[in-house]
Amino acid sequence: MKKKPTTSATKAPELPEKARKGHGGGAALKAASSEKTVRRGIQSIETGFTILDALRSASGPVPLGKLAELTGLTTANTHYYLVSFQRVGIVQQDADTGHYGLGPYALKLGIAALEQFDVYKLARPSMLDISTQTGHTVFLGVWGNKGPTIVYRVEGSKSLPLLELRVGSVLPLLSSALGRNFLAHLPAAETSGMLEHELKLQSSGYTVPHADIPRTAAAVDEMKSIIRDQGYSRCQNTLLPNFTSLSAPIFDLSGGIVAALTIMGPAHMLTEENEADAVRLLKRHTAEISQTAGMYG
């Protein structure tokens, strides 16, 4: 009996009751009735957003003083905002360092935004079909602020659970099929920082050399050209040992990559000799999603 594919997504905590319901309802309704107030907006919300945007742009948790410097607020005012943001779960404080980063509710908001974006909804039936037909795990990935990011997955009946790769995981450019897809199709300016860092790691001896991972800019350019020509990217034993991954891009109306579907399965089941059917299935589904999204419309 085939194991039914299962899906995985991140669950963040619900907002506290007070935050969901609000308080001071009469005053709020009265304020909302003023056209002038609506046009002017709420400055404190806009100010608070600058803190959230600074956290989004940071490479990791940020000290209070640095946040104040980035936003132009006083340390005291920054702290007041952070206290409120922590209460609703959109910001969290590192217990060891005291630094601040985005919290679980921020991830929930991000997933919700993706759910309201067509490509996310369009991809899910395709992922179920691919997983059912191949028996392998299928990922949906997008380009996030940290790089190639898994936002949805369907478990395959032939694959062991891939605990290392979960919703929210950010994958490398050079050693993951998902990353290679974005590297091949995104403007170089968007990937240059991450690519430069990974190439330095490859040349420094910090990582174990692998024949399938390019180590020079020229080799990267050659790999990108091959990926664009064949319409998919491939990795074997690079991201995880004994696993092969195949990834194909999803394009929007302008022809830009908006997401990618990736199949990942045991290396002995997905070899260059027997993976042709999986590649055809993957490319057919991503082409159909791209067409629905407007790429070929």
What pLDDT score does 171 carry? 94
Confidence of residue 115 (pLDDT cuts 50, 70, 90): low
pLDDT, one tens digit per residue, over 250-283 is 998 778 999 999 999 888 888 877 889 999 999 9
Closest to 265 (Cα-Cα) out of 253, 256, 274: 274
The mean pLDDT of 137-156, rounded to a whole number, is 92
Has residue 54 been placed in a domain?
yes
Specify whether 95 is located in the same domain as 161.
Answer: no
Q: For residue 182, give the H/E element and its range.
A: helix 177-185
| Out of 79-93, 97-111, 113-127, 187-201, least confident range | 113-127
Specify whether 42 is located in the same domain as 127.
Answer: no
| Out of 56-70, 132-146, 175-189, 204-218, least confident range | 204-218
CA separation for the pair 144, 186 (Å, rounded): 12
Has residue 275 been placed in a domain?
yes
pLDDT, one tens digit per residue, over 166-183 is 888 999 999 999 999 999
Mean of pLDDT over the chain: 83
Has residue 55 been placed in a domain?
yes
Confidence of residue 211 (pLDDT cuts 50, 70, 90): low
Is 14's pLDDT higher than 50?
no
List the CATH number of the domain containing 62: 1.10.10.10
What pLDDT score does 162 carry? 72
What pLDDT score does 15 carry? 41
Give the domain-ending residue among 79, 106, 133: 106
| Out of 116-125, 142-151, 188-197, least confident range | 116-125
Total-model pTM: 0.63
The mean pLDDT of 108-115, rounded to a whole number, is 76
What pLDDT score does 13 carry? 40
Specify whether 157 is located in the same domain as 250.
Answer: yes
Has residue 25 been placed in a domain?
yes
CA separation for the pair 251, 156 (Å, rounded): 25
Give the domain-ending residue among 106, 128, 151: 106
The mean pLDDT of 111-136, rounded to a whole number, is 85
Containing domain of residue 41, as a range? 17-106
Specify whether 96 is located in the same domain as 136.
Answer: no
Q: How far is CA 291 from CA 112, 138, 161, 231, 258, in A?
A: 23, 20, 32, 15, 13
Give the domain-ending residue among 106, 129, 157: 106
The mean pLDDT of 112-120, rounded to a whole number, is 71
The mean pLDDT of 200-228, rounded to a whole number, is 82
List the CATH number of the domain containing 231: 3.30.450.40
Is 35's pLDDT higher than 90?
no
For the chain, the domain total comes to: 2
Specify whether 193 is located in the same domain as 289.
Answer: yes
The DSSP code for 170 is B
Has residue 66 been placed in a domain?
yes
